[in-house]
Structure 1
Amino acid sequence: MTIRQEIIAELEANRESYVAFLQKLIQAASPNPPGDTTKATTVVREYLSTHGVEAEVVAPLPQAPNVVADFRGGKENDPRVIFNDHIDTYPVERPDAWPKGPYSGFNDGITIHGRGGVDMKAGTATSIIAYTILQRRAEGLKGSVRLVVVSNEETGGRWGTRYLLEHDPSRWGGDVVLNGEPGGLQSIRFGEKGTLRITFTVKSEGLNGAYTFVRKGRAAFIPLQ
């Protein structure tokens, strides 16, 4: 049996436990705002611990911790592969509009119901599961793998991915990033999206509004249009 066949067989054999993990993750509500992800990150840490992964917590905000882990393969140092996913979800505005409840994790045999099931706890659970499977086979791998499960994504990522990259880029930066964010095309795509923060200065000749007949000024916002 090849390694690929071995992994597929493991996935099929443990399907029910993977689904149960996702359900538990959905049931651990983590709407942002307000951004408290402690219940969900506890679920993540418990799962990783059960599967032999020594995870760390990086928490610039106590109520919004990030769970991280990494291992190095047995053959080479590169490439560095990053699993990057978020644990916070969009908030629920109308709980009564959810037939099964916003955090039920109910499995009807086809769909698992609950806020964050798509964006993006299913993707996060998938990355975590993949990481545990790969770590057990680390000796046969080239390069290294990092798992980065962050909070604060829904409100800009300042205390999640951005924080990690600004404070320890050598560890949490990589050559390849795998992200389970839903895209809708059922395909792997190369691309990038996120928040663009720009600081700029616009200058304009000043003018006293009482003396517009003397000379003409120009509003500073006009160049921005």
Structure 2
Amino acid sequence: MQSAEVKQRLFNAVDELRPQLVQTLQELVRIPSVVGDEARAQQYIQKLYQDLGLTVEMVEPDMEAVRQHPGFIDTKVPYEGRPNVIGTLPGDEAAPSLVINGHVDVVSVEPRNLWPRDPWSGEVEGGRLHGRGSADMKSGLIANYFALKAALKAGLRPKGMVRLMSVIDEEAGGAGGTLACLLAGYRADALLITEPHGMNVTIANAGVNHFRVYLKGRSAHGGTSHLGVNAIGKVLPIYQALADLDEKRGREVKYPLFEKGSGRSCHVTVGTLHAGDWPSTVPGDAVMECRISFVPGETREEIRALVENTVAQAASTDPWLQEHPPKVEWFAWQTSPWQQDPEHHFVQALMSAAVDVAGRPVDFIGRASGLDSRFAPDFGMVAACTGPKGANIHGIDEYVELDSVVDTAKVVALAMLNWCGVAD
């Protein structure tokens, strides 16, 4: 760990760069980068990395390589024209190396009309910077850049190699982003991701599986609707069974790190319902798209069986569904839980940095959602996450607290030197 003098030099350098940090974050938030349309934002990041003197590479995902990996998630969005950006600062090969990762892609701003301000404004008010992606996670991405910039400004060059990695596709599962970069050989001994975690250190995330439930009805004209079977009505017992399963698992399945980080360990969510296409036609089919998360110790096989049995049991109470049983299809996210040993030297180096910056005890937490850190074990890498504090993530009027972005830059910078060492 670093001396008090080194810490002070480092923190002073970050503080001096704060106006640049805020301006840079504003500029990046003002570039829309919804999943599938990240290229312009990545060009902005490319220039930042070049200006810092890094060796910069633009890496488009290799679909064939990524498809072969068990962590692949097929989003049906092509990878062409969607590069990842990697900026490398060489170091002593004998010293520990580090990838500092963040994603530039964001989710949709819809319903845009409900935002109280332009969702791409980057507006600063009351110490908060507003806009889609401000918290999740352009602030973390920019904090990573200013962490390295501050260290170099302070004359504290990391001894080991450091890679800044700006990735696409995280919101859709990460296969074209972090996974593609690791498969292409852009690795290190450790992986640090600055997702918005309120300055806590995240060492676990839930398994996440998506599934569809298909239901059949019988179409009919609205004038003779008594001859039809409305598929929407047949959804209701299945929906209620999944809602009951969600309540039961929320009550009974406990994983302390997730309880601490997300307030609850697991969830079953019915996210979409599609049925019918005309007001005067009885819909003859319906489909629900759903998500279930699960904790370390549970397996994908167990979770699939649980969902399929829940749907089948609900269908068994309805004569129509007995004769026309719903079909469950698993798609998109199919990931297992991830957990990291908190005693690993890298995790302790990050925790020490977080405590030094916060000036108080910092918690180890887990998240009841998916994180790109889950890919690290497949490549022999240790991983952990920390990041700034924000609110309304994926929601209306997303924002990040600027003080926490500055603190994140300090944590990342100090953790980097704690782990990689300082060059002579």
In the TM superposition, 1:1-225 aligns within 5 A as 2-32=5-35, 35-60=36-61, 61-74=79-92, 77-134=94-151, 140-168=157-185, 172-184=186-198, 186-192=199-205
TM-score, normalisation: structure 2: 0.42
SS in 1 for 2:179: helix
In the TM superposition, residue 193 of structure 1 has moved relative to its aligned partner by 5.4
Query: For residue 24 of structure 2, what is the amino acid of its counterpart?
Result: F
Higher helix share: 2
Task: Mark the runs of 5 or more structure 2 residues left unpaired by the alignment.
Answer: 62-78, 211-298, 302-326, 328-424
Cα deviations by residue, 1:182-218 (Å, 9 ceiling, x for unpaired): 234x312323457679998xxxxxxxxxxxxxxxxxx
SS in 2 for 1:88: coil
1:204 match: none
The verdict on how the C-alpha distance between 1:157 and 1:50 changes in structure 2, with shifts beyond 3 A counting, is same
Query: For residue 48 of structure 2, what is the amino acid of its counterpart?
Result: Y
Query: For residue 190 of structure 1, what is the amino acid of its counterpart?
Result: I
Does the Cα contact within 8 Å between 2:10 and 2:151 map onto a contact in 1?
A: no
In the TM superposition, residue 179 of structure 1 has moved relative to its aligned partner by 0.8
Q: Distance in 1 between matches of 2:206 and 2:42?
A: 24
Higher strand share: 2
Query: For residue 195 of structure 2, what is the amino acid of its counterpart?
Result: E
In the TM superposition, residue 16 of structure 1 has moved relative to its aligned partner by 0.8
SS in 2 for 1:102: coil
Q: Distance in 1 between matches of 2:207 and 2:14?
A: 32
The verdict on how the C-alpha distance between 1:136 and 1:189 changes in structure 2, with shifts beyond 3 A counting, is same
Q: Distance in 2 between matches of 1:67 and 1:30?
A: 14
In the TM superposition, residue 9 of structure 1 has moved relative to its aligned partner by 1.3
The verdict on how the C-alpha distance between 1:166 and 1:49 changes in structure 2, with shifts beyond 3 A counting, is closer
TM-score, normalisation: structure 1: 0.76
SS in 1 for 2:10: helix
In the TM superposition, residue 38 of structure 1 has moved relative to its aligned partner by 1.2
Q: Distance in 1 between matches of 2:141 and 2:19?
A: 17
Q: Distance in 2 between matches of 1:66 and 1:10?
A: 28
The verdict on how the C-alpha distance between 1:105 and 1:70 changes in structure 2, with shifts beyond 3 A counting, is same
Q: 150-159 vs 3-12, which deviates more?
A: 3-12
- The percentage of aligned residue pairs carrying the same residue is 30
